[in-house]
Structure 1
């Protein structure tokens, strides 16, 4: 099923308005979800709407509250998201950091009392659009089993890094685990199997049934019940494949977010405050040399990599290439929405008196 990006945006803005977000905040939230769907990152697109709605109902987030600056210097910020939506606090923070980095060459911030912020790349791309380097990270619900562990402790702990380049900025945006939970959610909704070794059970045996894994992750992430199993770190199941390096990457994000913000560890976000923390950094590369020369050098490096000898029938893609290709295609053909997510949209729309896109506006 496909629906135009503009139709999706209008539906989301109407829902967020009915949920008492301001017009400005609702537009931002809608943009982050539509942007994810356009880039083919459906795990962080409109399929998150039902979850956001549940968080409003249980007061994990408060639509009318705004982030607060707790501490500020010329190069740093400490922000209290104040239980506002993670996207709202993150965009607010990144705009502040961009202005600071243009004056001081570098700026960083930590956000506490936040929640899910969508795709990390959305905020790093804000910096890239201004010719700056952007770094965005977050901790999450407990999902990830450390090396040799039988139970989850870490979050999928996303990291995004952007660098100015042509024809589009370099964008690395991904979990520091094998996969984000959202991708498993999408497979479960579609009734599909997990294609790789992404998740394990309580005995650390690999599972491939997405519904089984999603049910287990929901118990881990959203209740005080802590069954074993979870998502694997980068490197997969075994130490011989260096999964301890993925473990280390996840820990770095945990230190920069939950620890530095003096908030909850990913392991504890399913109880108590239910808060996430975020870390952002913006760097002005022009401090180190002419920006046009730097961009040309980066672009040249990527072009050389793209044209290396490669396996027949394959293509070498730089991080970000695939997402920009999806973006251009989906602007024309519409974004893909699975039937389960469409049912959730109908339920949310009925609850808040918002007309859901009709079958006539959805193409097979």
Structure 2
């Protein structure tokens, strides 16, 4: 593993994206989303995604010069065509607009069609929280997730993020509606590590522990028309007795709010044709319902009570987001870790583009 500073990572990423014809503003945004993920310890959505993004640019799945188009707009709603550019760009545009709308109208929603991968869902919800608002972010993805009792992947990992203003920092829940995102398996495969839990299955619903074998299954179901069977499990795991139909239902809700509402591709069809993703965002002004500072105080009081519940020896009760905030401070001070495979990819990208790769700390 190599450690690099977050500032060096940001500089490198901005240079790379600029070389691929992204505007200066868009390059800075894209770099910030990836660095933010790495700082929070969400390495599956950080710089390790860079080579994957660049391949999609070369294949014209992503078109860097295209600008998002606002198709319809009201004081409380927004419909955007991402115009086949990176999902991050249209998503940031959408949330910035929703923040302005919500401060005037209490609640507003946005839907994006013809988009691509948008990084971490929490990035956009935190934008709302930092403005004193509740933020919700959803996306569909490529087909990775096997519905309850099925053998074939059909749904996306379909991320859901929810934020609420609080002190000393906003509450952030950000996660896939499947057991894990495909990126976590991809990262383990790069490291040559085994899958620690029941995350992925083969075509007979047998649990797959080898990360490289699981990544091979996911690559086929997500990027080709081939259906070898298998994929990522829904929340609840491999057994209906453990309520995996609830995870299945969560994934369907996101699918309805994204691919269906945007009139784009559902996750099952994003590996053919347009390769388009869709996103859904909502912002709510909690101050309509009560004094914001009182609400924030009540949130922190509830969290402190939870953290101080009786617990198993040697364990810690953490609120969603606690771990990421802790990692953010640590990684900001000591640098982010890059696996060896990604390090080699970054060096190859630097050589190809005639720029300097990030130096190790």
TM over 0.5: yes
Partner residue, 1:362? 360
Per the TM alignment, residue 352 of structure 1 is displaced from its structure 2 partner at its CA by 1.5
Partner residue, 1:77? 78
Please give the alpha-carbon distance, in whole angstroms, between the structure 2 residues aligned to 1:218 and 1:344. 18
Partner residue, 1:192? 193
Please give the alpha-carbon distance, in whole angstroms, between the structure 2 residues aligned to 1:285 and 1:144. 34
Please give the alpha-carbon distance, in whole angstroms, between the structure 2 residues aligned to 1:353 and 1:106. 47
Partner residue, 1:292? 293
Please give the alpha-carbon distance, in whole angstroms, between the structure 2 residues aligned to 1:313 and 1:21. 48
Please give the alpha-carbon distance, in whole angstroms, between the structure 2 residues aligned to 1:99 and 1:351. 41
Per the TM alignment, residue 225 of structure 1 is displaced from its structure 2 partner at its CA by 1.1
SS at match of 2:49: helix
Q: Which residues of structure 2 form unaligned runs of 5+?
A: none
What is the Cα-based RMSD across aligned positions, in Å?
0.6
Per the TM alignment, residue 350 of structure 1 is displaced from its structure 2 partner at its CA by 1.6
Per the TM alignment, residue 334 of structure 1 is displaced from its structure 2 partner at its CA by 0.1
Q: After superposition, where does 1:283-362 map in structure 2 within 5 Å?
A: 283-357=284-358, 361-362=359-360
**Deviations 1:169-211 (Å, cap 9, x if unpaired)?**
1000000000000000110000000000001000000010000
Please give the alpha-carbon distance, in whole angstroms, between the structure 2 residues aligned to 1:134 and 1:279. 11
Give the structure-1-normalised TM-score.
0.98
Please give the alpha-carbon distance, in whole angstroms, between the structure 2 residues aligned to 1:146 and 1:351. 41
**Deviations 1:128-180 (Å, cap 9, x if unpaired)?**
00000000000000000000000000000000000001111100000000000
Give the structure-2-normalised TM-score.
0.99
Partner residue, 1:120? 121
Per the TM alignment, residue 319 of structure 1 is displaced from its structure 2 partner at its CA by 0.4
Please give the alpha-carbon distance, in whole angstroms, between the structure 1 residues aligned to 2:74 and 2:333. 44
Per the TM alignment, residue 35 of structure 1 is displaced from its structure 2 partner at its CA by 0.2
Please give the alpha-carbon distance, in whole angstroms, between the structure 2 residues aligned to 1:207 and 1:298. 40
Please give the alpha-carbon distance, in whole angstroms, between the structure 1 residues aligned to 2:204 and 2:351. 42
Per the TM alignment, residue 347 of structure 1 is displaced from its structure 2 partner at its CA by 1.5
Question: Is residue 6 of structure 2 the alignment partner of residue 8 of structure 1?
Answer: no
Partner residue, 2:260? 259
SS at match of 1:225: coil
**Deviations 1:208-232 (Å, cap 9, x if unpaired)?**
0000000110011111111100000
Q: After superposition, where does 1:78-227 map in structure 2 within 5 Å?
A: 78-227=79-228
**Deviations 1:272-326 (Å, cap 9, x if unpaired)?**
0000000000000000000000000001000000000001000000001000000
Please give the alpha-carbon distance, in whole angstroms, between the structure 2 residues aligned to 1:351 and 1:142. 31
Per the TM alignment, residue 103 of structure 1 is displaced from its structure 2 partner at its CA by 0.3
Partner residue, 1:68? 69
Aligned residue pairs: how many? 360
Question: Is residue 18 of structure 2 the alignment partner of residue 17 of structure 1?
Answer: yes
Please give the alpha-carbon distance, in whole angstroms, between the structure 2 residues aligned to 1:260 and 1:354. 42
SS at match of 1:147: coil
SS at match of 1:280: strand
Please give the alpha-carbon distance, in whole angstroms, between the structure 1 residues aligned to 2:7 and 2:227. 41
